[in-house]
Amino acid sequence: MDEPPLLILASASPRRLALLQQAGIEPDKLRPSEIDETPQRRESPRILAKRLARTKAEVARLWAEKQEDHSGCYILAADTVVSVGRRILPKPETPEEAEDCLRLLSGRAHKVQTGICLISPLGKVRQRLVETKVRFRRLHPQQDIPAYVASDEWRGKAAGYAIQGLAGSFVVKMSGSYTNVVGLPLAETVLLLKGEGYPVYTHWAERAVPV
């Protein structure tokens, strides 16, 4: 029986890897794509998310084409953008930047948009954009915000929070995909892979619990 094509995840995010593993999908290779993620002038959050995902996938494809045993593989990339209106929030690099993000999100609704890009073994490019609306309760400036920043959970996270951690206690309303806010909209990603012939269910039987 022929071996299925390899799946390369063009991301270093442990959250995206864990979500794929939750769906029984184990990437054969992790190949983070180091690119400039600076928004272009007047670029909307949704266009930015799609552009970055596509760029990451293309960079990983160029790398794969140079490897002897990686030809004809699936390449999956994603990028998540958080915005309030048209204002795109950064991944904070300092506690002060994390505090600024949390103050802006306090008591307000924001959007989490993830662009997904899949390149098939035949070179077909498929993209999806998934949007989730999230509202935070009002955060106490001398209690909630300093305590969360001290936890360090904000590091490496878009808009400086991780919904699957302590910041889950800030959310009062959410409309859309929860896994999208974590970092990868799982249902849409699995449908993309299935649509291009990736064997999504290969390892599901291995999870069966003996009776």
Q: CA-CA distances (angstroms) from residue 92 to 10, 26, 87, 154?
A: 22, 30, 15, 7
- Count each helix (H run) and each strand (E run) in the chain, helices first: 6, 7
Amino acid symbol at 155: R
For strand 74-84 and strand 87-89, is the pairing parallel, antiparallel, or unpaired?
antiparallel
Q: How far apart are CA 137 and CA 61, in angstroms?
A: 42
Give catalytic residue positions. Answer: 79
Q: How far is CA 73 from the centre of its chain?
A: 21
- Distance CA(16)–CA(26), nearest Å, equals 11
Q: Are 118 and 193 in contact, with CB atoms under 8 Å apart?
A: yes
